Amino acid sequence: MPPQPASTQPARTAPDRERTAERLLASSAKLSFNPLKDVDWDADPVPGAYYCPPRHLSLYGTGLWERMTDEERIELSKHEVASIASVGIWFEEILMQMLLRHAFDRDPTSNHVQYALTEIADECRHSIMFARMIAKMGVPAYGAGFVAHNLGRLFKAISTHSQTFGGTMYVEEILDAFQREVMNDDTLQPLTRQVSRIHVIEEARHISYAREELVRKRLGPVRRRYEQLFIGLIVYYATTALIHPRLYAAVGIEPKTGRAVARANPHWRATKVEMAQKVVSVLDRAGLVGRTNRWLLRAAGVVA
Ligand SMILES: [Fe+2]
Ligand SMILES: [Fe+2]
């Protein structure tokens, strides 16, 4: 990914806002889910099945991993999936507020605002679905951690257009990359596969809404740096929050040790780079990756 000179305006062509929203509304009417009814909440977990592909676990391939039993590895996969889902709830709650602010000043009769409201309704159902999945697994909702949680409090109140849609794209795309694999792997737990499938289908619309909004805003060189800094902070905090160190205690590993081993784990780093590859190039094309935030992306472990 070559650095983008600040003076270069990226190509900015976006289809008409109303037509896009009309298409997304029609698609939502055709295929939306009610997770309370569309997930089999009564089924027992399948013995011996992972909750996500083991190669995507933060300790995979390390010495600690080699010393774990199969049961411990599966337990770790359950806690890591729950941790990621709880970060999903944290971000969806932020996103719902940002979308409400986006809708607040616009014409509610427009398709554009009606789709924003539809997306809020989707996210509301998703957060309930994730919460229910975590409760069903019988593990804690680890959350994003103290710093990220409270930065989220500020961010959801002051985010700009580029930060709202750039941040949204980032979190939605990394979850999408992870969940697509989960839904397509029939060796995994049916619960996480069903939840992932619903989320992937509905998020595809959110991602196309955010992607088009992202290229609508023209940014001058100074403003671009400001937006890049915030996007970098979102990438850093959302990515490092995914795996809460407290979860390592569930498999007998001291949280500080688990976190340090995961940080140094080249497999985990490669997983993060793989998950973020597509969205980082979209953000780059929108002029939102540059000198101001590349160091934060590197610190988050999502670019080499
Ligand atoms: Fe969602
Ligand atoms: Fe979404």
CA 126 – ligand 2 centroid, Å: 8
Read off the pLDDT of residues 275-295 as tens digits, 9 standing for 90 and up: 999 999 999 999 999 999 999
Contacts made by residues 182-186, CB under 8 angstroms, sequence distance 24+ = 182/52, 182/53, 185/53
Least distant ligand from the CA of 207: 2
pLDDT at 35 over 80: yes
Read off the pLDDT of residues 166-176 as tens digits, 9 standing for 90 and up: 999 999 999 99
pLDDT at 41 over 80: yes
Least distant ligand from the CA of 99: 2
pLDDT (0 to 100) of residue 260 = 97
pLDDT at 249 over 50: yes
Residue 266, CB-side half-sphere exposure with 13 Å CA sphere:
0
Q: Give 56's DSSP letter.
A: G
Percentage of the chain surpassing pLDDT 70?
95
pLDDT (0 to 100) of residue 261 = 98
Q: Which two tokens stand for residue 165?
A: 């849609």
pLDDT (0 to 100) of residue 136 = 97
Least distant ligand from the CA of 179: 1
254 versus 5: the higher-pLDDT residue is 254
CA 150 – ligand 1 centroid, Å: 20
Q: Which residues contact 158 (CB under 8 A, 6 or more apart)?
A: none
pLDDT (0 to 100) of residue 85 = 97
CA 123 – ligand 2 centroid, Å: 6
CA 222 – ligand 1 centroid, Å: 32
CA 255 – ligand 1 centroid, Å: 28
CA 302 – ligand 2 centroid, Å: 21
Cα-based torsion angle of the residue sequence 5, 6, 11, 12 in order, rounded to the nearest 10 degrees: 170
pLDDT at 6 over 70: no
CA 120 – ligand 2 centroid, Å: 8
Residues lining ion ligand 1 (Cβ < 5 A) are 123, 126
Least confident segment among 46-50, 119-123, 180-184, 211-215: 211-215
CA distance 258 to 244: 10
Q: What confidence tier does 194 reach under pLDDT thresholds 50, 70, 90?
A: very high
CA distance 42 to 100: 34
pLDDT (0 to 100) of residue 15 = 61
CA 261 – ligand 2 centroid, Å: 31
Q: Which residues contact 101 (CB under 8 A, 6 or more apart)?
A: 159, 164
For residue 13, which amino acid is it? T
pLDDT (0 to 100) of residue 7 = 40
Mean pLDDT (the chain) is 93
Read off the pLDDT of residues 59-68 as tens digits, 9 standing for 90 and up: 999 999 999 9
pLDDT (0 to 100) of residue 44 = 96
pLDDT (0 to 100) of residue 217 = 82
Q: Looking at residues 227-253, what average pLDDT do you find? A: 96
Q: Which two tokens stand for residue 103?
A: 């809708």
